[in-house]
Amino acid sequence: MQYVSTRGSAPALGFEDVTLAGLASDGGLYLPEQWPSFSADQIRALSGLSYVETAVRVMTPFVAGSLSEDELRELCTAAYGRFSHQAVTPLVQLDHQQWLLELFHGPTLAFKDVALQLLGQLFERFLSRRDDHLTIVGATSGDTGSAAIDAVAGRSKIDIFMLHPEGRVSDVQRRQMTTVLAPNVYNIAIDGSFDDAQALVKAMFNDADFARRFNLSAVNSINWARLMAQVVYYFYAAVRLGAPERPVAFSVPTGNFGDVFAGYVAAQMGLPVAQLIVATNVNDILHRALSDGDYSQGQVVATATPSMDIQVSSNFERLLFDAGGRDGVALAAQMKGFEGSKAMRLTNAQRDGAAKILSSARIDADGMTMAMRWAFDAAGQVIDPHSAIGLAAAREAKVDPSVPVVTLATAHPAKFPTAVERATGVRPGVPGRVGDLFAREEAYAKLPATFEAITAYIAERATPRP
C-alpha cells in the first residue's frame, strides 16, 4: 500500500515510512492512494471474531508491504492485551436505538490508548529494523500525554519528552504522566499555558538542525497509523449490530477530527455506515463548516470537555482532500489561505462530498448535563462529559428508527469526577488498575517556558542520531 500527501507534492511512501514520518514533507497529511474495499461477504466473515482478529483483518491491507499478517497479529496481541476488558471495546445498550461503544478500557482511561498502544509497538518494530532512534516531543493538556507515555515507556529506541502547563492539568492527569518512572520518559512542567507548550514544540520542529540531530517525531493524531487503528472498532461494533445486513450510525465527540475520520474511512471501505454525527461542544468550527461551509477560527472557550476545546482540527484536511476530489495542488493553496487569514469557505465539491455521510451538532453545557442524566436515569450508565456530548447529538439526530446509533464513549467517567458528580450525584470511582496512582512517587522537571531552557534540557538527555 502506497500513501499520498493531501498537498500533492510530497513523494508517495509505504506504511513504514509514513508511520515514522508523521507529517508529509510538503506540510500535508498522508492517506492511502486508494481505499481498500471489503465485500459484504468479507464483512460477514468478521462476525464472532475477537477484537485482535478483527484488527488483523481490517488493517492487513493498509500495512501490506511493511508487515506480514503474522507480524501484525503479534503487535495487535501485545497492544490490546493491555486492555482490562476481554472485548477491548465493548458495546452497552441504552435503549431500543441508542448504544455506547466503550473505548476507555486501556491503561490511561481514554480512547487514545486504542491507537497509541499500537503505535508504540509499530515504532519499536520499525526502529529495530533500521537500528534508528526517535525522540518524541509533545505538548499535552491531559489525555494524549499520558496515553503516549504509557505506550512508549521502557522502549529502548525511543525517548519521550512531554510538556504540560504547570498547575493546569488535573491531579489524575498529571500523576498518570509523572508517576511513570521509566528511564526514557521525561515530563516537563512549564511555567506557562498549554498554548505556550504547543508553541515551544512547534519551534523545536521548525529548528531543522535540532529536529534532524535528535530525529524528532510527533504522536498527535496527524499520524496515519493512529487513524488506521481506530477504523477497527467501527467494524467491530457494526458487525455486532447486524452489518453488513443492517446499516449502523455513529455519533462521535470530536476535537481534532481523527476519531470521526476513522469512521469515514470505514465507510469508504464498504462498511454500511448510515450516518456519522460530528458532535462538538461550543467550540463549534466543525459544526459551522459542515452545516454552512464556514471554516473560520474563533476564540477557544474552556469547557468541561477539554479534549474537544479546539478551534483548528488538523485531520479535517484529510476529509477536504478525499471528499473534495483529491486535488492536492488546489488543497495546498486553500490551506495556505486558511493559515494566513484563519478562515476559509468549503468548496461545493467538499460540502457535497461531506454531506453524503456526515452531519453535525453543537451541544452546550446544558445539553451535555441532560445527556449524562438521561444515561444514568434511563440505563443506569455513568458517562463522562465528552461521551455525553456525543450522546446528546445522537439523540437529537434524525436517524431511521430501524438503524442503531452508537455513541463513542471516549473517556472513563473517573477522569472527570467533578462534572459527572454535578450532573448525576454519583462520584465515579477510579478503576482498580490505576487505583494506587496517588500513592506512587512522581518525577518531573519544572522549567521556564523558553526555547533555550527546553532545548538545553532535551539536548542533555536525548540520544543523538547514530
Active centre residues (catalytic) = 112
330 by Cβ neighbours in 10 Å (0-12 / 13-18 / 19+) ranks as middle
Which helix (H) or strand (E) element contains residue 134?
strand 134-139
Give me the sheet containing 134-139, strands edge to edge.
216-217, 134-139, 158-165, 185-191, 445-448
Ranges within 192-221 binding ligand PLP (CB under 6 A)? 221
Residues listed for the chain:
466
Nearer to ligand PLP, 43 or 391 (CB): 391
Q: Which of residues 155 and 386 has its CB atom nearest to ligand PLP in the complex? A: 386
Is the link from the previous residue into 244 a cis peptide, with omega within 30 of 0? Answer: yes
Size of the site for ligand PLP (CB under 6 A): 16
Shortest approach of ligand PLP to residue 240 CB, angstroms? 22
Taking the alpha carbons at both ends of the chain, their separation in whole angstroms is 29
Our CB check for ligand PLP shows the closer of 98 and 410 to be: 410
Of 255 and 324, which has the nearer Cβ to ligand PLP? 255
Taking the C-alpha atoms of residue 318 and residue 257, their distance in angstroms, rounded to an integer, is 9
Site string for ligand PLP, 91-120 (x = CB under 6 A): -------------------x-x--------
> Is 226 one of the binding residues for ligand PLP (CB under 6 A)?
no
Q: Should residue 121 be labelled a site residue for ligand PLP when binding is judged by CB under 6 A? A: no
Per-residue DSSP letter, 293: S
Query: Which residues does 23 contact at the CB level (< 8 Å), separation at least 6?
Result: 29, 218, 222
For position 307 contacting ligand PLP by CB under 6 A, the verdict is: yes
Q: Is 254 in the site for ligand PLP (CB under 6 A)?
A: yes
- Distance of alpha carbon 372 from alpha carbon 311, whole angstroms: 25
Q: Which stretch binds ligand PLP (CB under 6 A): 38-46, 155-163, 251-259, 358-366?
A: 251-259
Rounded to a whole number of angstroms, the minimum distance from the CB of residue 145 to ligand PLP is 11
Stretch that binds ligand PLP, among 25-33, 175-183, 209-217, 248-256 (CB under 6 A): 248-256
Residues 385-404 that bind ligand PLP (CB under 6 A): 386
Q: Which stretch binds ligand PLP (CB under 6 A): 53-61, 171-179, 256-264, 366-374?
A: 256-264
Segment lying near ligand PLP (by CB under 6 A), choices 253-261, 323-331, 340-348, 451-459: 253-261
In angstroms, what is the minimal distance from the CB of 106 to ligand PLP?
A: 11
State CA 379 to chain mean position distance. 27
Among 106, 258, 270, 367, binds ligand PLP (CB under 6 A): 258
Q: Which of 259, 284, 317, 322 binds ligand PLP (CB under 6 A)?
A: 259
Q: Which stretch binds ligand PLP (CB under 6 A): 152-160, 238-246, 257-265, 366-374?
A: 257-265
Q: Are strands 343-345 and 358-362 parallel, antiparallel or unpaired?
A: unpaired
Closer residue to ligand PLP in complex, CB, 233/257: 257
The one among 15, 62, 257, 316 contacting ligand PLP by CB under 6 A? 257
Stretch that binds ligand PLP, among 45-53, 195-203, 249-257, 332-340 (CB under 6 A): 249-257
- Name the 3-class secondary structure at 249: strand
> Is the CB of residue 153 less than 8 Å from the CB of residue 147?
no
Distance (Å) of CA 184 to CA 152, 162, 218, 443: 8, 11, 16, 12
Name which of residues 132 to 191 contact ligand PLP (CB under 6 A): 143
Q: How many CB atoms lie within 10 A of CB 364?
A: 13
Our finding on whether 308 is near ligand PLP (CB under 6 A) is yes
CB of 379 to ligand PLP, least distance (A): 20
* Alpha-carbon distance values, 232 to 20, 29, 76, 228, 290 (Å): 21, 20, 11, 7, 25
Q: Which of 359, 410, 424, 455 binds ligand PLP (CB under 6 A)?
A: 410
Angle at 260 between CA 96 and CA 388, to 5 degrees: 50
Q: Is 255 one of the binding residues for ligand PLP (CB under 6 A)?
A: yes
Q: C-beta of 422: minimal distance to ligand PLP in Å? A: 18
Is 136 within 8 Å of 160 (Cβ atoms)?
yes
Would you call 238 helix, strand, or coil by DSSP? Answer: helix
Residue 108: half-sphere exposure toward Cβ, Cα within 13 Å: 29
Binding of residue 232 to ligand PLP (CB under 6 A): no
| Interacting residues with ligand PLP (CB under 6 A) | 110, 112, 143, 221, 253-259, 307-308, 386, 410-411
